[in-house]
Chains A and B, each alone.
Chain A
Amino acid sequence: MIEIFGIPVAVLGGQILLGLINGSFYALLSLGLAIIFGMLNVINFAHGAFYMLGGFATWILFTYFGIGYWPGLLFAPFVAGSIGALMERLLLRRLYNVDHLYSLLFTFGAALALEGLFRHHFGSAGKPYPLPGELSGGYNLGFMFLPLYRAWVIIIALLVCFGTWFAIERTRLGAYLRAATENPSLVQAFGINVPLLLTLTYAFCVGLAGFTGALAAPIYQVSPGMGANLIIIVFAVVVIGGMGSILGTILTGLSLGVIEALTKVFFPTASAITVFIIMILVLMLRPTGLFGRER
């Protein structure tokens, strides 16, 4: 068996694969967080809760209605996005004129409430979600075994990430978004319904989180707490990447997932805090983040 640095290649390969999966989740989630922060100036603490909502939406769809993975993949972001749109339109919007502290506290309360509600109703234990038939099994690559589902997750996550990047950087709608981030009142004075744009942006970003939750369900199971600790790592990812560029955020998320996974192989005890240590280093050397811009 081939070994690299004393680790069998199969193990290394498997870990890197897991790292890419975690990394793509980090990328998807930090993308939504960064866009919400850029456009609405809100730290969306509830992002983890929407991730959890997406996972539960797809699990409920399967467990109570017998509807499988593929519709679930569309249903989850729809549920998350709709609830997000309602929350933004009715409640969060009223906090844009006050100190940004309050919108953070509001979303924090929302996260607590959603998590608590689901925990009370469904219990804390993780609920398994079956792999869709078409994506079970895998390929033997010779040096390691590649599960099909894991490959799928990485590919679709990357597609969605780059699709989002394209939409923002290369389309008319994206231009509206970028302009509204800089000067919302002027954009509105041009005839663009900016409040509606903000609602749709928030809905899209939390919809992304819900989509990620649906992707994660077969791998990580579905539990009320699934978003909670994850979201704080994603915060650290956003701080490391800075919020200056979409591509930068995506790249940072992916890399950190891989680095974290590799650390688990070589320094297992430190793996949980890898991202935080990197964050400390980045803060000392580049306070605005790797790809950040002075706001």
Chain B
Amino acid sequence: MTFQMAIASSDSRATQTRTLCLLLLVATSLAAPFFIYPLFLTKILCFVLFASALNLVLGYAGLLSLGHAAFFGGAAYVAAHSAKVWGFPFELAILTAVSFATLLGLVFGFLAIRLHGIYFAMVTLALAQMIYFLAVQMPLTGGEDGITAVPSGKLLGLIDLSNSLAMYYVVLLFVAFGMFMIWRTVHSPFGHVLAAIKENEVRATSLGLQPSRYRLIAFTLSAALSGLAGALKAIAFQVASLLDVTWHMSGEVVLMTLIGGMGTLIGPAIGATFVVALEHYLSTSGLPISFIIGVIFMLCVMLFRKGIYGELREWYLRRLVRET
């Protein structure tokens, strides 16, 4: 039995498995805060969204962006500032932050989108570093200290968000919405065109498509969702700091996507969970975090390029082929 036949015949079984997994996921995410510290889970959620947003350009559009921290951290600052200094209510702060991230994404994208592969990566990195330097120097951002004591406010004026359990469920809602948007985008005609462009840009162009335009849209959407993740994180943890805009952060989110599985929907979520949990564990152990993350990065690139989910899926499919 060939690979393709294995995939086809397992389709109905796969859909069943997938639906089961989805239900399991929903149940777990609803019940989790009663077993694990809600604030920790909220952090995981934010990075799940961030990594999934990056995956939209990295895994699906085939663009390596090394500057996504600019959207994440930048939106964090905007959300924090608008909530604390301008007194925006929760929803408005989030909206303002996401708008900022979208606009920034459009600008970065416009400058970089016609460049290819390596050049694109370098330019996004440099642009994000510019944001970092601005964040260091501008009084608005509080420099080395960042913005602290951000009020979490109330959702719709009713639900008090300083309650970490309530905050968790609100963030869960937003993240679920974000993931839904990504899922819809990938499986839409737009998403199919994007996949075609990624696979063979020359052929796509000869068919009359304009790759730059599609990539720009994907990039901007990715920036917007990254901004959503950053804004949520700022409000949930009531702080926005320089750590959110460093190139370390940009690199880490790429690692999350890579470790989990680029170009799959669930991969980045797995990767994000893995990395956040690992860092949490390492931070209390006295071991050098950067060093270990760096080594994991190198190991992953050399040996596990498909990521956790990717390798698992391949192993599962190979088993199917062998079974018959």
Q: Which residues of A contact B (CB under 8 A)?
A: 37, 41, 43, 91, 94-95, 98, 100-102, 104-106, 108-117, 119-120, 228-229, 232-233, 235-236, 238-239, 269, 272-273, 276-277, 279-280, 283-284, 287
Does A112 lie within 8 Å of B305, measured CB to CB? Answer: no
Nearest chain-A residue to B287 (Cβ)?
A120
Residues in chain A near residue B119, CB distance under 8 A: 239
- The stretch of B81-89, B225-233, B296-304 that contacts the partner chain: B296-304
Residues in chain A near residue B165, CB distance under 8 A: none
Does A119 lie within 8 Å of B121, measured CB to CB? Answer: no
Interface centre among B112, B288, B289, B296 (most CB of A within 10 A): B288
Does A236 lie within 8 Å of B295, measured CB to CB? Answer: no
Nearest chain-B residue to A41 (Cβ)?
B118
| Minimum distance in angstroms from A262 CB to a CB of chain B | 18
Does A113 lie within 8 Å of B294, measured CB to CB? Answer: yes
Does A283 lie within 8 Å of B129, measured CB to CB? Answer: no
Residues in chain A near residue B296, CB distance under 8 A: 109
Interface centre among A233, A269, A287 (most CB of B within 10 A): A287
Give 1 or 0 for each of B111-129: 1 = CB within 8 Å of chain A CB. Answer: 1101101110111011101
Interface centre among A104, A105, A236, A269 (most CB of B within 10 A): A105
Nearest chain-A residue to B292 (Cβ)?
A116
Does A273 lie within 8 Å of B130, measured CB to CB? Answer: yes
| Minimum distance in angstroms from A143 CB to a CB of chain B | 32
Docked Cα-Cα span, A287 to B122, in Å, equals 13
Cβ of B64 under 8 Å from chain A: yes
Docked Cα-Cα span, A116 to B292, in Å, equals 8
Q: Could you name 22 residue pairs across A and B whose Cβ atoms are closer than 8 Å?
A: A91-B298, A98-B305, A101-B64, A102-B305, A104-B118, A105-B255, A108-B297, A109-B294, A109-B297, A110-B294, A112-B251, A113-B295, A119-B290, A120-B290, A232-B129, A236-B129, A272-B136, A276-B127, A276-B130, A276-B133, A280-B111, A280-B127
In order of increasing CB-CB distance, the 7 nearest A-B pairs are A116-B290, A109-B297, A113-B294, A112-B294, A116-B291, A120-B288, A276-B130
**Contact flag A232-B247 (CB < 8 Å), given A276-B127, A280-B111:** yes
Of the candidates B111, B112, B133, B291, which one forms a contact with A112 in the assembled complex, judged by CB atoms under 8 Å apart? B291
Does A120 lie within 8 Å of B126, measured CB to CB? Answer: no
Number of interface residues of B (CB under 8 A): 41
Cβ of B258 under 8 Å from chain A: yes
Interface centre among B129, B134, B137, B296 (most CB of A within 10 A): B129
Docked Cα-Cα span, A203 to B243, in Å, equals 33
**Contact flag A269-B137 (CB < 8 Å), given A43-B118, A101-B64:** yes
| Minimum distance in angstroms from A125 CB to a CB of chain B | 16
Does A116 lie within 8 Å of B289, measured CB to CB? Answer: yes
Cβ of B147 under 8 Å from chain A: no
Does B298 lie within 8 Å of A283, measured CB to CB? Answer: no
Does B302 lie within 8 Å of A106, measured CB to CB? Answer: yes
Give 1 or 0 for each of B290-324: 1 = CB within 8 Å of chain A CB. Answer: 11111111101110010000000000000000000
| Minimum distance in angstroms from A292 CB to a CB of chain B | 9
**Contact flag A112-B121 (CB < 8 Å), given A102-B301, A232-B126, A287-B115:** no
Docked Cα-Cα span, A105 to B134, in Å, equals 26
**Contact flag A283-B294 (CB < 8 Å), given A104-B118, A108-B251, A235-B125:** no
Does B288 lie within 8 Å of A283, measured CB to CB? Answer: no
| Minimum distance in angstroms from B136 CB to a CB of chain A | 8
Docked Cα-Cα span, A116 to B287, in Å, equals 10
Docked Cα-Cα span, A116 to B297, in Å, equals 13
Docked Cα-Cα span, A236 to B255, in Å, equals 23
Residues in chain B near residue A100, CB distance under 8 A: 117-118
Apart from A41-B118, A109-B255, A116-B288, what 14 extra A-B contacts exist at CB < 8 Å?
A43-B121, A91-B302, A98-B305, A101-B117, A104-B118, A113-B297, A228-B247, A229-B129, A232-B126, A232-B129, A235-B122, A239-B123, A284-B111, A287-B115
Nearest chain-B residue to A91 (Cβ)?
B302
Residues in chain B near residue A283, CB distance under 8 A: 111-112, 115, 123
Does A239 lie within 8 Å of B126, measured CB to CB? Answer: yes
Of the candidates A41, A105, A116, A228, which one forms a contact with B254 in the assembled complex, judged by CB atoms under 8 Å apart? A105
Interface centre among B114, B115, B136, B247 (most CB of A within 10 A): B247
| Minimum distance in angstroms from B310 CB to a CB of chain A | 14
Residues in chain A near residue B118, CB distance under 8 A: 37, 41, 43, 100, 104
Nearest chain-A residue to B122 (Cβ)?
A235
Nearest chain-B residue to A120 (Cβ)?
B288
| Minimum distance in angstroms from B292 CB to a CB of chain A | 7
Nearest chain-B residue to A33 (Cβ)?
B122
| Minimum distance in angstroms from A63 CB to a CB of chain B | 21
Residues in chain A near residue B289, CB distance under 8 A: 116
Nearest chain-A residue to B252 (Cβ)?
A112
**Contact flag A112-B258 (CB < 8 Å), given A239-B122, A239-B123, A273-B130:** no
Give 1 or 0 for each of B130-142: 1 = CB within 8 Å of chain A CB. Answer: 1001101100000
Does A117 lie within 8 Å of B297, measured CB to CB? Answer: no
| Minimum distance in angstroms from B217 CB to a CB of chain A | 20
Give 1 or 0 for each of B251-274: 1 = CB within 8 Å of chain A CB. Answer: 100110010000000000000000
Docked Cα-Cα span, A287 to B305, in Å, equals 31
